[in-house]
């Protein structure tokens, strides 16, 4: 395989940016920026996300069976960069960013324009990531977008010329 062609081709797949949040039974939390996310079904409403197998987020989502996908707005590059690294919970903040509980008890960031809460229904682990399928059990929109909803979402390309995923 031509590795340069593979890298370029995989980088041509567009990615939105989200912050995955979850909480384990011992009150430890996970919050990590992810970009593998897609709606997988309308009925029931399902999303599929990619989570690195050796990450704290993977362990907590596996333990709790629940997660939230916090949608980042175009102006939230700082949140994306913050959660590239793991952070501990400090009161009602994670990495200095406030969170509240969704109706199902999952931590959701208060600054994001929207979020969905999910119950894990399937996990497929192949390679260094698991594909986690979650049924959407709750959703909230804090800030209605103007125009197309997906135009309000932060994309990986918005982080600059030197930030890539894939390859």
Q: Which of these, 162, 136, 167, lies nearest to 81 by C-alpha position?
A: 162
pTM: 0.91
Sheet holding 114-126, edge to edge: 29-34, 18-23, 66-71, 114-126, 129-141, 46-52, 37-41
Query: From CA 56, how far away is CA 36, in angstroms rounded?
Result: 17
Residues 72-124 pLDDT 10s: 999 999 999 999 998 889 999 999 999 999 999 999 999 999 999 999 999 99
Q: In the predicted model, is pLDDT for residue 167 greater than 60?
A: no
Give the pLDDT confidence of 1-58 residue by residue, as tens digits.
998 888 878 777 788 899 999 999 898 999 999 999 999 999 999 999 999 999 999 9
> Coil, helix or strand for 90?
strand
Nearest to 73 by CA among 152, 160, 157: 152
Q: What is the pLDDT of residues 47-86, one digit of tens each?
A: 999 999 999 999 999 999 999 999 999 999 999 999 999 8
| Per-residue pLDDT, 117 | 98
Task: Classify residue 73 as left (phi > 0), alpha (psi -120 to 50) or beta.
Answer: beta
**Closest to 114 measured CA to CA, from 77, 157, 71:** 71
Burial of 24 (0-12, 13-18, 19+ CB in 10 A): middle
Q: Which two tokens stand for residue 105?
A: 């008890």
Domains of the chain are 19-156 (2.30.110.10)
């Amino acid at each position: 395989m031509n590795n340069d062609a593979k890298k370029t081709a995989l980088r041509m797949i567009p990615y939105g940016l989200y912050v995955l949040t979850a909480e384990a039974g011992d009150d430890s939390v996970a919050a990590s920026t992810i970009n593998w996310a897609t709606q997988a079904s309308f009925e029931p409403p399902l999303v599929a996300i990619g989570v690195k197998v050796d990450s704290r987020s993977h362990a907590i989502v596996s333990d709790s069976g629940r997660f939230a996908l916090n949608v980042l707005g175009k102006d939230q590059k700082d949140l994306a960069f913050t959660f590239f690294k793991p952070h501990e919970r400090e009161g009602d903040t994670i990495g200095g960013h406030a969170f509240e509980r969704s109706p199902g008890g999952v931590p959701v960031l208060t600054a994001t324009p929207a979020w969905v809460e999910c119950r894990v229904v399937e996990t497929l682990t192949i390679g260094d990531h698991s594909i986690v399928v979650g049924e959407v059990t709750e959703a909230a929109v804090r800030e209605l977008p103007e125009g197309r909803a997906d135009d309000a979402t932060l994309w990986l390309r918005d982080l600059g010329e030197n930030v890539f995923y894939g390859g």
